[in-house]
Structure 1
Amino acid sequence: MADGTRARRIVVAGLGDTGILTAIHLARHHDVVGVSVKPGLVSGQEVGSRITRPDAWRRDYWIPFTRFRGLDGVRVVHGTLTGLDPAERTVTVCGGDGDVVVESYDALVISTGVRNGFWRQPTLQSIDEVDADLESTHERLSAVSSVAVIGGGAAAVSAAANVAGVWPGKTVDLYFPGDRALPQHHPRVWHHVRRRLDRLGVGVHPGHRAVIPDDGVVDRITAEPVTWSTGQQPTRADAVIWAIGAVRPNTEWLPDDLLDDRGFVQVTTDLRVHGKDDIFAVGDVAATDPLRNSARNRADRLVAHNVMASFAGRPLRSYRPRSRRWGSVVGVQPDGLEVFAPNGRPFRFPAWSIDSVLQPWIVRRGIYRGIRD
């Protein structure tokens, strides 16, 4: 060990985008165990391309763990987390076959994320089940004539733009409660994206607040009429995509005293869980700031540094959140990829660069440290 400490056992609970990156950083120095309900990275990013171009989306956002070179030294446990014992320093995992495994740790990183809509659910799945889920959603949407997208965040805008772009013959409408969509982005972002939606023929309907269905389920595509608490007549469409930002943290397995009143993990500025020097949290599950933006802002590097610093008795660094969301909104389009800075100004990767520069060199090699073909 470069810092003179012995290798420790670290459990990374949750292997989404942030969990994988955290595990890759830590595995260079310590014994890492990752726990995941999925058999690989099934990203929550770019929902618009996921539902309209699943083959292209699979290539970059659905990647089995065995293809990540940085995870070669990580032991992955495929199962659902069911419990944490902070005193004994153990987590409990239930596999698909019902077997229960107890994993001990010297440090625990909680990165189990949130559930949100049909595309982000903590369901234990096999490779075949992930593929079948992608195909069934795509086939359903491809067969309909009209689509209503409910919500004003990036996922809703992405879904509306991509459905309209891939299937120009469909009637696509976007409904959201405020005066503008993307309220957590800089206002410039919405003004820019709105022009794209207009070119694509998407109907844009501000001031519409949907009534949640009687069964409370918004994690599936529905076909029933949508009613509005803001006074408009009910809206009918062949398929209704709910992207209303009704996120729920995947923290049922954690003791209540680690959570805030919404169920997110309470953390200090150095991403340690309140009162637990050996437990950290990062990503959407961590209550770092109102936007819980640590995943978007690459806090995987910070939390990995702090875990190792805690072992060596070195000072820990603080996470400094951004006040606005930023990044891609509608994903890769025929004219390239637009990424918005926190000040709302766009930067475009030209279309030719996506497959020749961005994905192979910046993402696969630079960020993930190598992904096998």
Structure 2
Amino acid sequence: MDSSRNPGSDLPHVVVIGGGFAGLWATRALAKAPVRVTLLDRGNHHLFQPLLYQVATAGLSAPDIAAPLRHILQWQRNVTVLMETVAGIDTTAREVRLERGDALRYDHLLLASGATHAYFGHDDWAAHAPGLKTLDDALHIRRRILSAFERAEAERDPAAKQALLTFAIVGGGPTGVELAGTLAEIARHTLKREFRNIEPRDARVLLLEAGPRVLSTFPDSLSGKARRQLEKLGVEVRTGTPVNAIDADGVLLGDERIAARTVLWAAGVAASPLARALGVPLDRAGRVQVEADLSVPGKPDVFVAGDLASVQQDGKPVPGVAPAAKQMGRHVANAIRARIAGKPAAAFRYRDYGNLATIGRMAAVVHLGKLKLSGALAWWFWLTAHIFFLIGFRNRLVVMLNWTWAYWSYQRAARIILGRDSGFGIRDSEER
């Protein structure tokens, strides 16, 4: 069954897979193009991933950083949004096969299904060290973090109590740094005076990075400042030693055993497995090595954007960050317009607007070309930028109010535990 054709419609059909930054920005850029667009996503919402760690650490609620795709696109009449899972892609027949059995025929296809966690061949670690890519991930991590303090309060064995109050974050990139810094603040400020049998400030937060420094994509000077700011917050930063094993009781760092009941993964990502459905060569991370215009080699009607695209520029890979994904999405929309008009598509050119990472209250690092900021000024810059780029006035207002309250009170707005966590040997249930 082909569910892509509307009666009487002869407009070219564009299918976009993925409602993230690349997919959504491409869809919106096609608003006035002479095409019909079908946007497919397994969820019903667009997620502002740069603030996902705030949900995981109880600073924000899920709706604060997400918005329904239908609501975002309600005034764009040439778009149909379908909450579907893609089962396969037939580039010869120009069809996208859906899990429920239907198929969508396309004239142009954009694959922007993003990335998932990569455990470097140790997939068994996933059960003990959840990663952070989706709202489900964030809610699960939040439950584990808050439950660790609750169980430590009731634990009588000192060793078991210490293991519950030890948090290990694997990976010293922006996500790992943000998680570690926020966890330290929760322990030392947010939970102060709330427990009777434990001192939350005694919690041990470790950031484990196999490379020589944290925030390796930043200049050495900012990386060093970030480390010092983390250590000032009480985070133990370990660099230069890889994690050799992870299980339910902790991690093996080199030859050192660290008992930690909460281990979080921020060390690596891999491209969505859907890339394999295109039948083209992939790089080591599973990304598609695209042409200059972001089309797939030998398949000019198929484009790949966002974390799924392997793009080289000036001898360096284009980073898998939100600004790059947005730019790719807009470029694909322009390329499709060019194809329809019978014109050649331009080559994609990424404009680097810099790197930002927050560490904690009044602590961040910013790298914008020759401009390097750290400390309070960088933190204000980071905060303003993230509020500005959120989708929707409500989200901006709510996040601004929550952060203002957190700044003055040290409290975090979303500390309700729902469900049970299998990470502590209890049945895990879905959070509503």
User: For the structure 1 residues 173 and 358, does the alpha-carbon distance in structure 2 shift closer, same or farther, using more than 3 Å as the test?
Assistant: closer
SS in structure 1 of the partner of residue 358 of structure 2: coil
Q: How does 1:51-66 map to 2 (within 5 A)?
A: 51-53=56-58, 56=60, 58-66=62-70
Q: Does 1:186 align with 2:219?
A: yes
User: For the structure 1 residues 362 and 264, does the alpha-carbon distance in structure 2 shift closer, same or farther, using more than 3 Å as the test?
Assistant: closer
User: For the structure 1 residues 21 and 70, does the alpha-carbon distance in structure 2 shift closer, same or farther, using more than 3 Å as the test?
Assistant: farther
One of 169, 175, 178 as aligned partner of 1:158: 178
SS in structure 2 of the partner of residue 118 of structure 1: coil
Identity %: 24
User: For the structure 1 residues 62 and 179, does the alpha-carbon distance in structure 2 shift closer, same or farther, using more than 3 Å as the test?
Assistant: same
Report the alpha carbon displacement of residue 281 of structure 1 after superposing the two structures with TM. Answer: 0.7
Give, in whole Å, the separation in 2 of the partners of 1:255 and 1:135.
Answer: 32
Instruction: Name the structure 2 match of 1:340.
Output: 367
SS in structure 1 of the partner of residue 102 of structure 2: strand
User: For the structure 1 residues 58 and 341, does the alpha-carbon distance in structure 2 shift closer, same or farther, using more than 3 Å as the test?
Assistant: farther
Count matched residues.
333
SS in structure 2 of the partner of residue 33 of structure 1: strand
Report the alpha carbon displacement of residue 292 of structure 1 after superposing the two structures with TM. Answer: 4.4
1:167-215 CA deviation, whole Å, 9 max, x = no partner? 32232111111221121232233123223212211111111201144xx
Question: Which runs of 5 or more residues in structure 2 are unaligned?
Answer: 1-9, 118-129, 149-164, 189-200, 396-432
1:15-42 CA deviation, whole Å, 9 max, x = no partner? 1122111111113322111111112123
Instruction: Name the structure 1 match of 2:380.
Output: 350
Q: How does 1:27-38 map to 2 (within 5 A)?
A: 27-29=31-33, 30-38=35-43
Give, in whole Å, the separation in 2 of the partners of 1:93 and 1:275.
Answer: 24
CA contact (8 A) 2:65 2:390 kept: no
Report the alpha carbon displacement of residue 110 of structure 1 after superposing the two structures with TM. Answer: 0.8
Query: What TM-score results when the alignment is normalised by the length of structure 2?
Result: 0.68
Instruction: Name the structure 2 match of 1:328.
Output: 356
CA contact (8 A) 1:48 1:330 kept: no
Instruction: Name the structure 2 match of 1:364.
Output: 391
Give, in whole Å, the separation in 1 of the partners of 2:185 and 2:17.
Answer: 37
CA contact (8 A) 2:366 2:382 kept: no
User: For the structure 1 residues 14 and 162, does the alpha-carbon distance in structure 2 shift closer, same or farther, using more than 3 Å as the test?
Assistant: same
One of 275, 283, 294 as aligned partner of 2:298: 275
Instruction: Name the structure 2 match of 1:234.
Output: 257
Question: Which runs of 5 or more residues in structure 1 are unaligned?
Answer: 1-5, 122-129, 214-221, 369-373
Report the alpha carbon displacement of residue 362 of structure 1 after superposing the two structures with TM. Answer: 4.9
One of 233, 238, 256 as aligned partner of 2:279: 256
Which range is displaced more, 270-279 or 285-294? 285-294
Give, in whole Å, the separation in 1 of the partners of 2:284 and 2:260.
Answer: 36
Report the alpha carbon displacement of residue 285 of structure 1 after superposing the two structures with TM. Answer: 0.4
Q: Does 1:245 align with 2:249?
A: no
Q: How does 1:31-46 map to 2 (within 5 A)?
A: 31-46=36-51
CA contact (8 A) 2:357 2:364 kept: no
Which range is displaced more, 257-266 or 159-168? 257-266
Instruction: Name the structure 2 match of 1:311.
Output: 340
Give, in whole Å, the separation in 1 of the partners of 2:353 and 2:235.
Answer: 23
User: For the structure 1 residues 307 and 189, does the alpha-carbon distance in structure 2 shift closer, same or farther, using more than 3 Å as the test?
Assistant: farther
Q: How does 1:13-24 map to 2 (within 5 A)?
A: 13-24=17-28
Q: CA RMSD in A?
A: 3.1
Give, in whole Å, the separation in 1 of the partners of 2:298 and 2:237.
Answer: 47
Larger Rg computed on CA atoms: 2
Give, in whole Å, the separation in 1 of the partners of 2:383 and 2:272.
Answer: 36
1:326-350 CA deviation, whole Å, 9 max, x = no partner? 433237x544876432556237473
CA contact (8 A) 1:326 1:340 kept: yes
User: For the structure 1 residues 148 and 119, does the alpha-carbon distance in structure 2 shift closer, same or farther, using more than 3 Å as the test?
Assistant: same
User: For the structure 1 residues 10 and 339, does the alpha-carbon distance in structure 2 shift closer, same or farther, using more than 3 Å as the test?
Assistant: farther
Give, in whole Å, the separation in 1 of the partners of 2:58 and 2:263.
Answer: 18
Instruction: Name the structure 1 match of 2:91.
Output: 86
Give, in whole Å, the separation in 1 of the partners of 2:353 and 2:170.
Answer: 20
CA contact (8 A) 2:357 2:382 kept: no
CA contact (8 A) 1:18 1:111 kept: yes
Instruction: Name the structure 2 match of 1:3.
Output: none
Instruction: Name the structure 1 match of 2:131.
Output: 118
User: For the structure 1 residues 223 and 25, does the alpha-carbon distance in structure 2 shift closer, same or farther, using more than 3 Å as the test?
Assistant: same
Instruction: Name the structure 2 match of 1:175.
Output: 208
